[in-house]
Structure 1
Amino acid sequence: MPELIDRIFFDDLKKQSPEDVCKRTLSSWNQVERCYEITVWNQKCVINPEQYKIDWIKENGKEENKDRAGELHEYFSLFAIHYLLTSKEINLSEKWISEKDIPGGSTFFRGPHEVPTNLVTQKFSKQIDKFKERCEAMHGTPIKMADAAYKFIIAPRIPVALLFWDCDEDFPAEAKLLYDKTIIDHLALDIIFALAVGFCEQFAGEAIN
């Protein structure tokens, strides 16, 4: 279990009804193993509240080796348990917003909490084709925005869009993350920030196997 996840989050999850959690989050409950199973960015996440444990499962059903390149950033474990704890049973709005559009976001997402989209621009400036290849390798779906943009299903109720404008002779490359407006109802600001950091670092890192 990553040290950044306090045991109290598992304790809070134990107090909730599995039926309610699964209904809210579109996850599933394994009664035999007494754990929740949910797909996070195309990887299977298994959360066992009683054992204070989060595992990531490879496609062949084996537990992911934590040292292997390709495992999701540790912030996705933090995201996953909070998603189970706080997400609501609501439909997507189909309206994209930036972090600055979230109530309190214009002051929160500054300084040390600035979303590090610079990691994306540093790696893919003047390489828009490689940006597209990376998006497709990470299970993105193209959308008609910016010079190139893709939507990623991070969790059943949490889509994220990554927009990219390549540099030209007048402007540097720019990237931006957008979220479905309903993210306001699901996650607190600090968890949205953790999701954004994990996303940017994951995207700018080595390709997922």
Structure 2
Amino acid sequence: MEFDYAKDNLEKQPYDHYIKAFAESDPLEIANRCQIEFNEETREFKLRLMGKEYYISHPDFKIRKVDESDNSYHVMFEFYKAEILALRFMLEGKKIESTGEFVTFRDTPEGNMYFKSFQGRCLFRLKYGFGFKLDKFKAAMEKMGATPMKMGDVAYKFEILDDFNVFILWEGDDEFEPSSQILFSDNFPVAFKSEDLVVSGDISITNLKGVASQL
């Protein structure tokens, strides 16, 4: 899907920069560093994002679904920041195994610097998007294939990119105003900058709302 960046040149400039850098990159180096599959015959990477698998061609960065018959919500085709996150991961990220522990956004390098942005784009957006609609929240999480966790009132773990996980803990009921916490698997800060974690949370909530809209 082609996104129209003309309305926001601030987004188009970094996107164009990443596209150019991707075209000039070494695909085998990317595959090794990020530990993702690259088919040298088709010149395509295979990347999983929000539970959906995609083929991404090199050097032209054309994206297609692995399962063409899957007509469910695909955030990669609906939200341009998903493309940017994929580009940044392949250009600057590194695959590191998680220990299974999770960290808060504030615990990441520069987390305090970007916390206001994270709070507005992720925590508040999650709260206002689902508020007291815990049933819809749970249904969307189940549809995404998220794993329920026994913490708080509602908690789920799900994967954003290959083996990079997010944990959403929700507390609240019909009487008390709900609050949420978004945690990241401890390999995130090694592979991504704090600003990328804001984008990851943004993508997660956009995907959650997109899935919920189809229920």
Q: TM-score, normalised by structure 1?
A: 0.82
Q: Cα 1:137–1:112, aligned 2, differ >3 Å: closer, same or farther?
A: closer
Q: Cα 1:206–1:27, aligned 2, differ >3 Å: closer, same or farther?
A: same
In structure 2, list runs of 5 or more residues that go unmatched. 6-10
- 1:180 counterpart = 2:188: no
- 1:42 counterpart = 2:35: no
Matches of 1:119 and 1:163 in 2, distance apart?
14
One of 181, 191, 207 as aligned partner of 1:202: 207
1:36 to partner: Cα distance: 1.4
* 1:62-77 map, 5 Å: 70-72=73-75, 73-77=79-83
Matches of 2:92 and 2:34 in 1, distance apart?
9
Question: How many residue pairs get matched?
Answer: 202
User: Which structure has more helix as a fraction of its residues?
Assistant: 2
Report what 2:8 is aligned to: none
Q: TM-score, normalised by structure 2?
A: 0.80
Report what 2:194 is aligned to: 189
Report what 1:105 is aligned to: 111
* 1:115-130 map, 5 Å: 115-130=121-136
- 1:167 counterpart = 2:173: yes
Tell me the secondary structure at the aligned position of residue 157 of structure 2: strand
Matches of 1:87 and 1:105 in 2, distance apart?
18
1:197 to partner: Cα distance: 1.3
1:98 to partner: Cα distance: 1.5
Matches of 1:111 and 1:26 in 2, distance apart?
30
Q: Does structure 1 retain, via aligned residues, the 8 Å contact 2:85–2:196?
A: yes
In structure 1, list runs of 5 or more residues that go unmatched. none
One of 143, 158, 164 as aligned partner of 1:158: 164
Matches of 2:187 and 2:134 in 1, distance apart?
30
RMSD value over aligned CA atoms?
2.6
- 1:79 counterpart = 2:85: yes
Runs of 4 or more, structure 1, over 6 Å off, are: none
One of 94, 100, 105 as aligned partner of 1:88: 94
Q: Does structure 2 retain, via aligned residues, the 8 Å contact 1:141–1:152?
A: yes
- 1:28 counterpart = 2:71: no
Report what 1:9 is aligned to: 18
* CA offsets 1:160-187 (integer angstroms, 9 cap, x no match): 1111112353x31112211012211111
Matches of 2:16 and 2:161 in 1, distance apart?
22
Matches of 1:148 and 1:43 in 2, distance apart?
24
Tell me the secondary structure at the aligned position of residue 159 of structure 1: strand
